């Protein structure tokens, strides 16, 4: 088993303004809603949205109740454009630090979203990461794409 780490790259176009997509990546309840893969619930324990800040989050398997926790630290925050952060699992079997770069670009039909996740621990198959991201981005689209007016 090599110690090399994996990288995943994703590209999505969302029918939503960049402001709303950025908010979904920096808002506690939004992240708890869309980022856990299918079958998991998400809990953010504390959150500080600024460069040098970050959050701790747990994903809990809804059917078994077992959970894993990870810590995110913000390296770079450019409002409505870019988020770079590190991710570290609490689990000592999943060592190392992943770097996630999220770039948002306003396009004619909404927002182009590019995500690069580097440094994935070698014990996690890259395909599983793709699958997890696909599920999360599906949920992200359902959160940011509807344009629901307020009923005053």
Classified by CATH at the fold level, domain 6-37+76-144 comes out as: Alpha-D-Glucose-1,6-Bisphosphate; Chain A, domain 4 (3.30.530)
Task: Kindly state the percentage of the chain with pLDDT values over 90.
Answer: 88
- Its pTM stands at 0.93
Q: Say whether pLDDT at 39 is over 60.
A: yes
Give the model's pLDDT for residue 1: 45
Q: Where are the domains of the chain?
A: 6-37+76-144
Per-residue b or e along 10-41, where b marks 16 or more CB atoms closer than 10 Å to that residue's CB: bebebebbbebbbbbbbbeebbbbbbbbeebe
- The residue with greater pLDDT, 75 or 151, is 75
- What number is the average pLDDT over the span 5-32? 97
Residue 136 and residue 40 in contact, taking contact as beta carbons nearer than 8 Å: no
Q: Say whether pLDDT at 90 is over 90.
A: yes
- What number is the average pLDDT over the span 40-68? 97
């Amino acid at each position: 088993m090599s110690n090399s780490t994996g990288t995943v790259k994703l590209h999505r176009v969302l029918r939503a303004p960049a402001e709303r997509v950025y908010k979904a990546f920096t808002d506690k309840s939004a992240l708890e809603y869309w980022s856990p893969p299918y079958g998991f619930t998400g809990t953010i324990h504390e959150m500080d949205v600024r460069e040098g800040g970050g959050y701790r989050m747990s994903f809990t398997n809804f059917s078994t109740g077992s959970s894993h926790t990870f810590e995110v630290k913000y390296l770079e925050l450019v409002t409505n454009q870019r988020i770079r952060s590190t991710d570290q699992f609490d689990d000592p079997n999943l060592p190392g630090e992943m770097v996630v770069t999220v770039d948002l670009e306003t396009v004619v039909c909404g927002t182009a979203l590019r995500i690069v996740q580097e440094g994935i621990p070698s014990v996690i198959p890259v395909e599983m990461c793709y699958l997890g991201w696909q599920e999360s981005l599906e949920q992200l689209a359902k959160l940011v794409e509807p344009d629901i007016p307020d009923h005053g």
